[in-house]
Amino acid sequence: MTEPTPLWQTTEHADLAVLEHAWGAHRLSLILGAALGSYNRLGNVNALAASTALDVSEGTIRRWVRNGVPTSRQQAVIELVRPPQGAFEDEYSELITARRNLEYLEQNPSGAAEIWGIKRWDEPHDLAVVKLAGEPFSVARIARTEREPASTRRMLQGGQKDTRGHYLPPAEIATFPNYFAAAIARLEILEDVYAYRVRMPHGRLDRGGSKAWLTEAPRKPLKSYRKKGRIRPRTGATVGIRHN
């Protein structure tokens, strides 16, 4: 019997209509540029790099950017620019687990301290939305509120810097009562920007390369996620989860 393909090598279970809407106008160029790590001097995708990766002509790439990707080639583009199916499956599982852990922590703080106190996950944590330097993409990262400068640098890795090379403050930052509350907020953000997600090239980021999204993606302000997490779960079609 043939072994199933690992989820990290499986093409995303995508709603193409949702992606087509998100990739409209100029965005396909940005997403291709991010996935390939290659832009031209105008900030659009390097047509030569994209044509080589997708085995088409440079003119075809420019036509796709103007008019959209034809149905027959959409799957190839998805495989190139989007996280694999395993990323979305893992995030869905992580969200369910984080919600359960938060409920346990709130109902049994002493027991939670015994389990997670050594990692200090029961203490306040910050969630930061970091806009990547020189690119129209963002990532969300978590760090303990009481942290060392090195932890702040890791949180801001890949972000914008001032003229002296110091990281600028993140685009948004909010404090949550514990790690799980912050994790739930980050995972709900990733659901909300699902159609705008992109997989950065290997080595571009030490953290979060498969969790980046177009900064212009519509979503709530970060502080809104500090409220009680959403009650109604997203459907599989809207967050890339397969139906069994």
**Is residue 230 over pLDDT 80?**
no
Single out the residue of 82, 98, 73 nearest to residue 8, CA to CA. Answer: 82
DSSP of 90-147: HHHHHHHHHHHHHHHHHH-HHHHHHHHGGGTTTS-EEEEEEEBTTSSEEEEEEEESS-
**Is residue 242 over pLDDT 80?**
no
pLDDT tens-digit readout, 54-86: 899 999 888 888 877 787 887 888 888 888 888
Name which residue leads in pLDDT, 176 or 200: 176
Single out the residue of 201, 234, 240 nearest to residue 84, CA to CA. Answer: 240
Residues 30 and 136 sit within 8 Å (Cβ to Cβ) = yes
Residue type, 10: T
**Residue 214 to residue 48: CA distance in whole angstroms:** 22
Residue type, 25: A
| Structure letter (DSSP) for residue 70 | -
What three-state secondary structure class fits 31?
helix
**Is residue 96 over pLDDT 90?**
yes
Q: pLDDT value at position 129?
A: 96
Q: pLDDT value at position 4?
A: 60
**Residue 173 to residue 171: CA distance in whole angstroms:** 7
What is the number of other CB atoms lying within 10 angstroms of the CB of residue 66? 11
Q: pLDDT value at position 210?
A: 78
Q: What is the mean pLDDT of residues 155-159?
A: 93
Q: pLDDT value at position 231?
A: 58
Residue type, 165: G
pLDDT tens-digit readout, 168-188: 999 999 999 999 999 999 999
**Is residue 189 over pLDDT 90?**
yes
Q: pLDDT value at position 183?
A: 96
CA distances from 166 to 140, 144, 150, 160 (A): 19, 20, 12, 8
Least confident of 13-22, 87-96, 121-130: 13-22
Single out the residue of 82, 37, 33, 93 nearest to residue 194, CA to CA. Answer: 82
Q: What is the mean pLDDT of residues 77-97?
A: 88
DSSP of 8-23: GGSPP---HHHHHHHT
What is the number of other CB atoms lying within 10 angstroms of the CB of residue 119? 10
Q: pLDDT value at position 3?
A: 58
Q: What is the mean pLDDT of residues 206-213?
A: 77
